């Protein structure tokens, strides 16, 4: 017996619910376009079996382990690796038992919705997940994972993924991507150029990374010009491997547009490790504008993911390292921050910049007004903590009246949890159809138009935004 | 066949919808009080026919042309004039075809709702506006505009406008207003004192403008005192022409209350063009408090419209000038900013200051708490990008619990799109009735009280706020 | 005939309303746990009759008198005491008449809902409160107050209060609390350690207060160590009197974690009255971290109520003093501010810090992400201006998806209006059940889980958060 409500996330009132059902019915099975995410291309290159259920659902998922940690479950018990070399639980079943016993902590959260969906639709498991069912569930999932139908490529095909973009360091040799392309498998997996490690002077190992960039490209990188040339060369390699986008994860959205001599001098200081915190921020900002200029040349779509205060707990950074759930959103000012880049290139329709925010107040105040006028600017979907039913609803309600639908970029699942991909797209499609149904029921949108927009939000806009509709 | 849903914007649940219908039914046809807007008084002085449909609906409407521009439609194709003298499309029909072919970009936005309403209710056009109907629609509208019943005064009367306030530079000779008053037409059109050009040291031509103010008033304006006296004299002329309010469009809501000698010295620096950016901001702030003091003398209601970053794109400012849709909201702090003015005069019930915001986060955090205690302070309605169904709903939900209904100022259409005035008031009345119906249906407001409040929000509060209920 | 709608605040759609009714039915009569508020313990120590209705409902209630003041009703007419010795109305009936004649100003606000509830459920008065019924209502309430069943202890018992925490200055001798404990009455009334007067260098009389703290504890307080020891000693006395928590009302949430020598030197400057505004802020921040460390020793739960700009009107502060409704919320940054405290102790599950905000934008951006990972951190309920149906709804919608239910701390009534306590808990229970019902109806939460969560939100979480479930 299925546990998921077939009408979940739809409006409650009967007519609006019927409208939502009809809209959703027409988009539910459209192919999945995933133009931004963090799956490992090696999964599809090697097509090895996924390890045990705990390592699929718990240990790598910061949404899950941070919530359990917040209620006193130690990371060690969840098998979360330590940076300080300390021992952690390695028995998948033991981890799974802890997870199941604490699964109620995730009630009414997106990860619970994704996991419930994956358990039921991907693995065919429908009982509730509680302490009493932990072992049975673990056994069931383990049995599935042993089957060829649950290998990465089979799941990719079963999920109906049309395109999956990974996120790859500018220093990545792209071997996994090359292997996929060389294989007889037809899945469309493409890389994304993520240059933070060679663009952010505060990144650990920055100077060493820039040297590596030089070595990979045969550029000298001792000068601003050759450093930019190295970026161009690597971007070209990404493009050759199918990339459609670059991605930039900066603490703020600040951009700069310095005169070349000034930028060159700044590069020298940065490269020598002499830059102040303020200069490092200026350099990051300058590099966003440089990347925009390269986009005008090579056509890569530029994504800006700004506004996280990384590694909030010094103690946890020391014991467990980065990406342990301690990245916290902060206020971000987009109006001032994006002005240099947008003043320089924002009205050029050949440029495409997709901006994401962790500060929801910027939707209606800053981002929708900016995207509603600059041809180069699109708004990325609700991101990270806001990739949720309420977050998506607030996004549409805050953005649409000023930016419309066509200045938004469709959905990103943005995940490294491969089995959650169908669930995430399903939530987005349901929430968007619920929103459209409400617009129709309140006389704000014609029903025929709503059907067209539903297709756009579920499929067309993502392809168009990331230029996947081009040869 | 009408295309507009007669129940648009009402709650979906049957009982709440019935309540909303009943509330709306009693206010739908109340006269329109428009105490703040940007219509051109010359329309009513000359009563000339409006030009072609494109110049009525497209070319002057920044809501419309910014959205089309954001999706790659060049301003030139829409006939938007250039500041750099370049040629633009002048054929109304050609502009209208571009507009119609791209009208889907405005789906679910307020301008689409206003235009649909105007087409149907003002012009009797009900088919959808798409590329295929562009010419027929253009012809239909052109035929209407050729008729006397579509001249400005006839429409004003047909719309049921009781009072229409325009916004006029402090340097405006008010000739159009004088002509209206001298005519045999009884429409109540009044000016509003907008002194930005002679108050803001960053305004281009500030010194020249202040000289002109002196010349108009016979004041010397070489001293702080005579400068203030010139303001007083011009305000008196506005009052004589029926004005009930002044309006102040500052980058922030900052106010100051300097000792007179300090203010006088600042004026000298400002007038000499020697003021720093910081001093310019201080001067603007000081002038808000001076205007409040003048309001205590002459009774003009003071409006503060704060928080827009003007002319975001330097390139567009150069090519097209101001007011091209590149004004973007920014964060505004009202608590600190208004403190000097409110500490000095905020508890004087004779003063009335109406504050508007482009930062919705200020509603519940700052503005409702301030308006809920200071007798002088009222909250203006949801403004600009937020003059929309969702914007109005968020406004009521954020404001009412702390400021109640009676610290709000009724509705402003704030428009230069004359034909949208009935539509805008209709949206506001519907959204407010929907909100009141929901309060009744959830046991938060008695039904009889809701009927009284509906009248207040649709009509009485605007008259009271702008002192239009006084002789 | 009752005036209150038995289904108030529930969802409108039939199935969700039925679910909400069922959830609410099971929690409506649970005991009231009130772990944070401002009732006067002397009421329960002396058990004297409450004075007249005006002094119960109007004169002490800043929610009420600020709204009437904002619409031109002078404080004097409401009997609000002056700091400058001026005369105010003292006749309860006269005050009540002004209140009744202006009660419509509170339409659709929380205080109207609380007062309506108290009039009907506590006093059995159901007609509308308007000018025409003012005297009859006043007489009815006066008759009630003359009865023993309306004395404080009787009402406490009738309300079903299981625990009531008061808020007490660190300098309070706790005599009223001692008297309650020594009495034959079994009501559980406990103090809360509120040290602002001896922690905030900007508090008037700070140096004198610190001396008094020294005198009360026998500590010398001339050194940082002995000052901290004095706090420890007083906290121990509070603990002995049943206290479970401390409470800290700072302008910002800033915390510090200075080396001891630096903190000691800062204390010397602060104590000598030589600290700058910046140093005062640093000292307050340091004291929050010190209090966290003391919490680790004595188990008191730490509450941080940050973000009010106190005494906004200088004129009103001069004429009427503090707490006159002129405290206005401001933006607060929790991410940077809490970092020193959380980096030092935030992952220690023995620590419990409950954070409150007056800046709703922090819920989803900062507080839910922080509480969703730090074991020491819980989110307090929607506070002050946001202790309202819309405020509570926004809180749940913004917080739950990231922090879940179990990182929230249940409900606080936070009131000095004793008769409003049942109304406030009733509103919270209804809003939470409405939210849960909506989650169930939209397939986001299992119905059985919703019943469990409803009990938690109404009762269990407050007990657990404040350690009232421990012996």
For the stretch A368-382, pLDDT in tens is 999 999 999 999 999
Our CA angle for A138, A139, A142, nearest 5°, is 85
With contacts defined as CB-CB under 8 Å, which chain A residues touch C365? Answer: 329-331, 358-361
Per-chain mean pLDDT for chain C: 97
With contacts defined as CB-CB under 8 Å, which chain A residues touch C405? Answer: 107-108
Interface-testing mutation among A443, A453, A457, A464, with chain B (most B C-beta atoms within 10 A): A443
Q: DSSP for B213-265?
A: HHHHHT---SSHHHHHHHHHHHHHHHHHTT--EEEE--SS-------HHHHHH
Mean of the pLDDT values across residues A299-321? 95
Contact C400 A313 (CB under 8 A): no
Asked if ipTM goes beyond 0.95, one says: yes
Give me the pLDDT at residue C204, please. Answer: 85
Q: How far is C58 from chain B (nearest CA, A)?
A: 15
Give the pair of three-digit tokens for residue B336.
Answer: 């600190």
CB A412 within 8 A of CB A382: no
Provide the 3-class DSSP secondary structure of residue A329: strand
Instruction: Find, in chain B, the residue whose alpha carbon is nearest to that of A379.
Output: B70
Q: How far is B358 from chain C (nearest CA, A)?
A: 15
CB C79 within 8 A of CB C54: yes
Give me the pLDDT at residue A84, please. Answer: 87
Interface-testing mutation among A404, A449, A456, with chain B (most B C-beta atoms within 10 A): A404
Per-chain mean pLDDT for chain A: 97
Give all chains having 3 or more CB-to-CB distances under 8 Å with chain B. A, C
All domains in chain C, ordered by first residue:
14-48+151-465 (3.20.20.140), 50-149 (1.10.2020.10)
> Cβ neighbours of residue A14 under 8 Å, at least 6 residues apart?
none
C140-157 confidence digits (pLDDT tens): 999 999 999 999 999 999
Contact C106 B404 (CB under 8 A): yes
A213-263 confidence digits (pLDDT tens): 999 999 999 999 999 999 999 999 999 999 999 999 999 999 999 999 999
Give me the pLDDT at residue A429, please. Answer: 98
Instruction: Cite the beta strand spans of A261-400 per DSSP E.
Output: 301-305, 308-309, 328-329, 353-356, 377-379
- Tell me the C-alpha distance between B370 and B380, whole Å: 13
User: Which alpha helices (DSSP H) does C299-388 contain, by range?
Assistant: 314-320, 334-337, 339-345, 361-362, 368-371
Give me the pLDDT at residue B3, please. Answer: 86
The partner residues of C169 in beta bridges, in order of sequence, read C194
Residue reference for tokens 């022409």: B241
Give me the pLDDT at residue C104, please. Answer: 98
The shortest CB-CB distance from A443 to any of B9, B67, B312 is to B9
pLDDT along chain B (471 residues), means of 10: 90 98 98 98 98 95 96 96 93 98 98 98 97 98 98 98 98 98 97 98 94 97 97 98 97 97 98 96 98 98 96 94 94 96 96 98 98 98 98 98 98 96 98 98 98 98 96 66
Quickly count: other Cβ atoms within 10 Å of residue B452's Cβ: 15
Provide the 3-class DSSP secondary structure of residue A300: coil
Nearest alpha-carbon partner for A389 in A20, A18, A1, A142: A20
With contacts defined as CB-CB under 8 Å, which chain B residues touch C12? Answer: 11, 13, 15-16, 438, 441-442
Contact C313 B13 (CB under 8 A): no
Q: What is the phi/psi pair of residue C36, to 5°?
A: -150, 125
The shortest CB-CB distance from B388 to any of A11, A366, A401 is to A401
Q: What is the phi/psi pair of residue A408, to 5°?
A: -110, 160
Q: What is the phi/psi pair of residue C311, to 5°?
A: 55, 60
Count the helix, strand and coil residues of chain B and give each as a percent rounded to the nearest 5. Answer: 55, 5, 40
The partner residues of A113 in beta bridges, in order of sequence, read none
Q: How far is B457 from chain C (nearest CA, A)?
A: 13
- Tell me the C-alpha distance between C463 and C244, whole Å: 10
CB B73 within 8 A of CB A374: no
Contact A315 C397 (CB under 8 A): no
Give me the pLDDT at residue A3, please. Answer: 86
Our CA angle for B267, B272, B274, nearest 5°, is 90
With contacts defined as CB-CB under 8 Å, which chain A residues touch B3? Answer: 446
Mean of the pLDDT values across residues A410-415? 97
CB C433 within 8 A of CB C27: yes
Instruction: Cite the beta strand spans of C66-221 per DSSP E.
Output: 161-165, 168-169, 189-190, 193-194
Give me the pLDDT at residue C1, please. Answer: 61
B/e letters for C14-42, b = 16+ CB within 10 Å, e = fewer, are eebbebbbbbbeebeebebbbbbbbbebb
With contacts defined as CB-CB under 8 Å, which chain A residues touch B309? Answer: 335-336
Give me the pLDDT at residue B84, please. Answer: 86
CB A319 within 8 A of CB A84: yes
- Tell me the C-alpha distance between A399 and A381, whole Å: 10
CA distances from B236 to B34, B159, B246, C288 (A): 22, 30, 11, 56
Give me the pLDDT at residue A1, please. Answer: 62
Our CA angle for A342, A348, A353, nearest 5°, is 55
DSSP assignment letter at C148: G
Question: A179: pLDDT confidence band, cut at 50, 70 and 90?
Answer: very high
With contacts defined as CB-CB under 8 Å, which chain A residues touch B4? Answer: 443
Quickly count: other Cβ atoms within 10 Å of residue C127's Cβ: 14
Q: How far is C401 from chain A (nearest CA, A)?
A: 4
Contact B445 C107 (CB under 8 A): yes
Give me the pLDDT at residue A471, please. Answer: 66
Contact B72 A401 (CB under 8 A): no
- Tell me the C-alpha distance between B188 and A431, whole Å: 47
With contacts defined as CB-CB under 8 Å, which chain C residues touch A312? Answer: 335, 339, 342-343, 370
With contacts defined as CB-CB under 8 Å, which chain C residues touch A101? Answer: none
The partner residues of C233 in beta bridges, in order of sequence, read none
Q: For chain B, first and last CA: distance in Å?
A: 44
Give me the pLDDT at residue C411, please. Answer: 98
Q: How many CB pairs under 8 A join A and C?
A: 124
C17-71 confidence digits (pLDDT tens): 999 999 999 999 999 999 999 999 999 999 999 999 999 999 999 999 999 999 9
Is the pLDDT reported for residue A470 higher than 90? no
């Amino acid at each position: 017996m299925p546990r998921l409500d077939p009408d979940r996330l739809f409006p409650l009132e009967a007519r609006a619910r019927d409208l939502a059902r009809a809209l959703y019915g027409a988009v539910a099975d459209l192919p999945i376009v995933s133009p931004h995410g963090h799956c490992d291309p090696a999964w599809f290159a090697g097509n090895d079996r996924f390890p045990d259920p705990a390592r699929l659902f718990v240990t790598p998922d910061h949404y899950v382990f941070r919530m359990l940690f917040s209620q006193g479950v130690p990371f060690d018990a969840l098998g979360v690796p330590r940076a300080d070399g300390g021992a952690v639980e390695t028995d998948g079943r033991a981890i799974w038992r802890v997870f199941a016993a604490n699964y109620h902590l995730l009630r009414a959260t997106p990860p619970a919705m994704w996991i419930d969906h994956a358990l039921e639709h991907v693995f065919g498991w429908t009982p509730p997940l509680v302490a009493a069912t932990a072992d049975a569930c673990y056994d069931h999932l383990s049995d599935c994972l042993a089957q060829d139908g649950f290998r990465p490529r089979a799941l990719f095909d079963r999920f109906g993924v049309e395109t999956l973009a990974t996120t790859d360091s500018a220093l990545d040799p792209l071997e996994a991507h090359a292997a996929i392309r060389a294989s007889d498998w037809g899945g469309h997996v493409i890389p994304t150029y993520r240059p933070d490690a060679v663009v952010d002077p505060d990144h650990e190992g920055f100077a060493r990374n820039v040297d590596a960039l030089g070595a990979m490209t045969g550029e000298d990188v001792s000068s601003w010009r050759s450093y930019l040339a190295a970026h161009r060369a690597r971007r070209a390699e990404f493009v050759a491997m199918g990339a459609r986008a670059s991605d930039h994860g900066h603490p703020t959205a600040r951009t700069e547009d310095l005169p070349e001599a000034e930028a060159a001098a700044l590069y020298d200081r940065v490269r020598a490790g002499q830059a102040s915190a303020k200069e490092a921020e200026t350099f990051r900002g300058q590099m966003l504008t440089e990347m925009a200029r390269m986009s005008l040349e090579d056509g890569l779509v530029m994504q800006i993911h700004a506004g996280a205060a990384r590694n909030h707990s010094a103690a946890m950074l020391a014991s467990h390292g980065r990406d342990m759930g301690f990245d916290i959103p902060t206020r971000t000012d987009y109006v001032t921050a994006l002005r240099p880049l947008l003043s320089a290139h924002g009205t050029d329709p050949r440029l495409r910049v997709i901006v994401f925010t962790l500060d929801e107040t910027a939707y209606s105040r800053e981002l929708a007004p900016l995207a509603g006028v600059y041809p180069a600017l699109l708004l990325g979907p609700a991101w990270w903590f806001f990739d949720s039913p309420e977050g998506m609803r607030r996004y549409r309600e805050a953005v649409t009246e000023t930016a419309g639908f066509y200045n938004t970029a469709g959905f990103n699942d943005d995940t490294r949890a491969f089995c959650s991909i169908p669930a995430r797209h399903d939530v987005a499609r349901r929430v968007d159809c619920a929103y459209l149904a409400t617009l129709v029921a309140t006389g704000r949108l014609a029903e025929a138009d709503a059907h067209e927009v539903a297709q756009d939000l579920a499929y067309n806009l993502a392809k168009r935004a990331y230029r996947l509709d081009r040869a």
